[in-house]
């Protein structure tokens, strides 16, 4: 079946630190992969996506590369800001279904 396994949090970083949130997936066929972000008190926003192997999604300084050989889609940012504090969800789409990871809470302290 299809599933997403996401690094557990919470994660606390100092401002300007490097961020990695791990995400691996299991899927039949060729899924699309996504990172969504949920800021406090808000709904989910699409952060970035990749639709095929070796694609790199990027947005707002965040990046993730679709790695078919390791079935991974790790989220990275070189220098986090306080405003990046949020919950991050890795997700995949296959067919008509979406599958979400459990979410990773990130807190960035000044």
Partner 1 sequence: SAVISQKPSRDICQRGTSLTIQCQVDSQVTMMFWYRQQPGQSLTLIATANQGSEATYESGFVIDKFPISRPNLTFSTLTVSNMSPEDSSIYLCSVEDRAGPYEQYFGPGTRLTVT
- Contact between 100 and partner 1 by CB under 8 A: the answer reads yes
Residue closer to partner 1 (CB basis): 17 or 87 = 87
- Contact between 42 and partner 1 by CB under 8 A: the answer reads yes
Q: How far is the CB of 50 from partner 1 (least distance, A)?
A: 9
Neighbouring C-alpha atoms within 13 Å toward the C-beta of 93: 11
- Contact between 48 and partner 1 by CB under 8 A: the answer reads no
Q: How far is the CB of 79 from partner 1 (least distance, A)?
A: 27
Q: Which residue has the tokens 């990871």?
A: 101
For strand 75-77 and strand 86-94, is the pairing parallel, antiparallel, or unpaired?
A: unpaired
Task: List Cα–Cα distances, 46 to 10, 38, 69, 87, in angstroms.
Answer: 20, 9, 25, 12
Contact set with partner 1 (CB under 8 A): 32, 34, 36, 41-46, 49, 51, 89, 93, 96-98, 100-103
């Amino acid at each position: 079946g299809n599933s997403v396994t996401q690094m557990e949090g919470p994660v606390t970083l100092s401002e300007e630190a490097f961020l990695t949130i791990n995400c691996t997936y299991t899927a039949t066929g060729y899924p699309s992969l996504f990172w969504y972000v949920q800021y406090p008190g808000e709904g989910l926003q699409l952060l970035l996506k990749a639709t095929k192997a070796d694609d790199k999604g990027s947005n707002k300084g965040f990046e993730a590369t679709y790695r078919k050989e390791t079935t991974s889609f790790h989220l990275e940012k070189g220098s986090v800001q306080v405003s990046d504090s949020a919950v991050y969800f890795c997700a995949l789409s296959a067919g008509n279904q979406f599958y979400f990871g459990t979410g990773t809470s990130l807190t960035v302290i000044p």
